[in-house]
Protein backbone atom coordinates (compact mmCIF):
# COMPACT_ATOMS: atom_id res chain seq x y z
CA UNK A 1 0.00 0.00 0.00
CA UNK A 2 2.72 2.46 0.99
CA UNK A 3 4.64 1.71 -2.19
CA UNK A 4 1.52 2.37 -4.30
CA UNK A 5 1.20 5.80 -2.69
CA UNK A 6 4.77 6.79 -3.53
CA UNK A 7 4.29 5.58 -7.10
CA UNK A 8 1.20 7.78 -7.39
CA UNK A 9 3.10 10.73 -5.92
CA UNK A 10 5.92 10.15 -8.41
CA UNK A 11 3.43 10.01 -11.28
CA UNK A 12 1.91 13.28 -10.11
CA UNK A 13 5.35 14.84 -9.80
CA UNK A 14 6.18 13.79 -13.35
CA UNK A 15 2.86 15.16 -14.60
CA UNK A 16 3.63 18.39 -12.77
CA UNK A 17 6.95 18.64 -14.60
CA UNK A 18 5.17 17.97 -17.91
CA UNK A 19 2.69 20.78 -17.11
CA UNK A 20 5.55 23.19 -16.33
CA UNK A 21 7.14 22.30 -19.67
CA UNK A 22 3.85 22.99 -21.52
CA UNK A 23 3.59 26.52 -20.14
CA UNK A 24 7.29 27.31 -19.89
CA UNK A 25 7.12 30.11 -22.48
CA UNK A 26 4.02 32.04 -21.39
CA UNK A 27 2.76 30.69 -18.02
CA UNK A 28 -0.67 30.40 -19.66
CA UNK A 29 -2.55 27.10 -20.04
CA UNK A 30 -4.81 27.48 -23.07
CA UNK A 31 -7.42 24.89 -24.03
CA UNK A 32 -5.08 23.08 -26.44
CA UNK A 33 -2.36 22.78 -23.78
CA UNK A 34 -4.94 21.63 -21.22
CA UNK A 35 -6.10 18.90 -23.61
CA UNK A 36 -2.47 17.91 -24.22
CA UNK A 37 -1.86 17.72 -20.45
CA UNK A 38 -4.95 15.55 -19.93
CA UNK A 39 -3.94 13.27 -22.82
CA UNK A 40 -0.50 12.84 -21.27
CA UNK A 41 -2.11 12.07 -17.90
CA UNK A 42 -4.24 9.33 -19.48
CA UNK A 43 -1.13 7.81 -21.08
CA UNK A 44 0.35 7.70 -17.58
CA UNK A 45 -2.83 6.08 -16.18
CA UNK A 46 -3.70 9.18 -14.16
CA UNK A 47 -7.47 9.81 -14.00
CA UNK A 48 -8.62 13.08 -15.57
CA UNK A 49 -10.02 14.43 -12.28
CA UNK A 50 -6.68 13.87 -10.57
CA UNK A 51 -4.84 15.39 -13.53
CA UNK A 52 -7.05 18.49 -13.37
CA UNK A 53 -6.37 18.78 -9.64
CA UNK A 54 -2.62 18.52 -10.25
CA UNK A 55 -2.86 21.08 -13.08
CA UNK A 56 -4.75 23.58 -10.89
CA UNK A 57 -2.34 23.03 -7.99
CA UNK A 58 0.67 23.64 -10.28
CA UNK A 59 -1.09 26.69 -11.76
CA UNK A 60 -1.82 28.16 -8.31
CA UNK A 61 1.67 27.46 -6.99
CA UNK A 62 3.45 28.88 -10.04
CA UNK A 63 1.07 31.75 -10.88
CA UNK A 64 -0.02 30.18 -14.17
CA UNK A 65 -3.27 31.24 -15.81
CA UNK A 66 -5.77 28.53 -16.83
CA UNK A 67 -7.74 29.82 -19.82
CA UNK A 68 -10.83 27.71 -19.04
CA UNK A 69 -11.07 29.18 -15.52
CA UNK A 70 -10.80 32.76 -16.79
CA UNK A 71 -13.46 32.09 -19.45
CA UNK A 72 -15.80 30.54 -16.88
CA UNK A 73 -15.36 33.59 -14.64
CA UNK A 74 -16.09 35.91 -17.58
CA UNK A 75 -19.14 33.85 -18.56
CA UNK A 76 -20.62 34.15 -15.06
CA UNK A 77 -20.14 37.93 -15.09
CA UNK A 78 -21.59 38.39 -18.58
CA UNK A 79 -24.54 36.20 -17.61
CA UNK A 80 -25.26 38.50 -14.64
CA UNK A 81 -25.11 41.54 -16.93
CA UNK A 82 -27.39 39.86 -19.49
CA UNK A 83 -29.92 38.85 -16.82
CA UNK A 84 -29.85 42.32 -15.25
CA UNK A 85 -31.81 44.11 -18.00
CA UNK A 86 -31.82 41.56 -20.83
CA UNK A 87 -28.85 43.11 -22.65
CA UNK A 88 -25.12 43.66 -22.25
CA UNK A 89 -24.16 47.25 -22.91
CA UNK A 90 -20.76 48.63 -23.86
CA UNK A 91 -19.92 49.70 -20.28
CA UNK A 92 -20.71 46.20 -18.96
CA UNK A 93 -18.66 44.63 -21.74
CA UNK A 94 -15.72 46.91 -20.93
CA UNK A 95 -16.01 45.95 -17.24
CA UNK A 96 -15.92 42.25 -18.15
CA UNK A 97 -13.01 42.93 -20.52
CA UNK A 98 -11.02 44.68 -17.78
CA UNK A 99 -11.53 41.82 -15.37
CA UNK A 100 -10.70 39.26 -18.07
CA UNK A 101 -7.46 41.10 -18.90
CA UNK A 102 -6.53 41.30 -15.22
CA UNK A 103 -7.28 37.59 -14.71
CA UNK A 104 -5.08 36.64 -17.69
CA UNK A 105 -2.33 38.90 -16.31
CA UNK A 106 -1.80 40.45 -19.72
CA UNK A 107 -0.95 37.11 -21.32
CA UNK A 108 -3.73 37.49 -23.91
CA UNK A 109 -3.91 40.29 -26.48
CA UNK A 110 -6.79 42.79 -26.24
CA UNK A 111 -8.15 41.55 -29.57
CA UNK A 112 -8.12 37.90 -28.49
CA UNK A 113 -9.72 38.79 -25.14
CA UNK A 114 -12.54 40.79 -26.77
CA UNK A 115 -13.15 38.04 -29.35
CA UNK A 116 -13.34 35.47 -26.55
CA UNK A 117 -15.91 37.59 -24.69
CA UNK A 118 -17.88 38.10 -27.90
CA UNK A 119 -17.87 34.33 -28.53
CA UNK A 120 -19.17 33.72 -24.99
CA UNK A 121 -22.00 36.22 -25.55
CA UNK A 122 -22.94 34.80 -28.97
CA UNK A 123 -22.76 31.15 -27.90
CA UNK A 124 -25.13 31.87 -25.01
CA UNK A 125 -27.55 33.87 -27.15
CA UNK A 126 -27.32 36.98 -25.00
CA UNK A 127 -28.30 40.31 -26.54
CA UNK A 128 -26.09 43.38 -26.64
CA UNK A 129 -27.07 47.03 -26.65
CA UNK A 130 -25.61 48.83 -29.66
CA UNK A 131 -26.58 51.97 -31.47
CA UNK A 132 -28.01 54.72 -29.33
CA UNK A 133 -27.39 58.41 -29.81
CA UNK A 134 -24.15 58.09 -31.75
CA UNK A 135 -24.94 54.83 -33.52
CA UNK A 136 -21.97 53.00 -31.99
CA UNK A 137 -21.38 49.54 -33.40
CA UNK A 138 -18.86 48.62 -30.69
CA UNK A 139 -19.91 44.95 -30.57
CA UNK A 140 -20.13 44.41 -34.33
CA UNK A 141 -16.64 45.89 -34.74
CA UNK A 142 -15.00 43.27 -32.52
Report the distance separating Cα 76 and Cα 117, nearest Å: 11
Query: What is the reported pLDDT for 4?
Result: 41
Which domain, by its residues, includes 17? 2-63
Instruction: Please give the tally of structural domains in the chain.
Output: 2
Query: What is the reported pLDDT for 130?
Result: 86
Task: List strand residue ranges (DSSP E) for the chain, in order.
Answer: 28-29, 65-66, 87-88, 127-128
Which of 33, 63, 93 represents a domain boundary (last residue)? 63
Q: Taking residues 76-85, what's their average pLDDT?
A: 95
User: Based on the domain organization, do 59 and 71 belong to the same domain?
Assistant: no
User: Based on the domain organization, do 80 and 57 belong to the same domain?
Assistant: no
Express as a percent the part of the chain with pLDDT over 90: 78
Does any domain span residue 140? no
**Residue 3 above 50 pLDDT?**
no
| Prediction pTM value | 0.83
Report the distance separating Cα 37 and Cα 25, nearest Å: 15
Query: What is the reported pLDDT for 5?
Result: 41
Which of 48, 63, 78 represents a domain boundary (last residue)? 63
**Residue 1 above 50 pLDDT?**
no
Residues 6+ apart with CB under 8 A from 38: 48, 51, 52
Amino acid sequence: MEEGMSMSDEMKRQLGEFIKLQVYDDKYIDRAEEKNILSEALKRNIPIDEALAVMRQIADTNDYVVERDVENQAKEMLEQFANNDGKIDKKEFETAFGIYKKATRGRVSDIKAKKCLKDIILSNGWKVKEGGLFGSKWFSEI
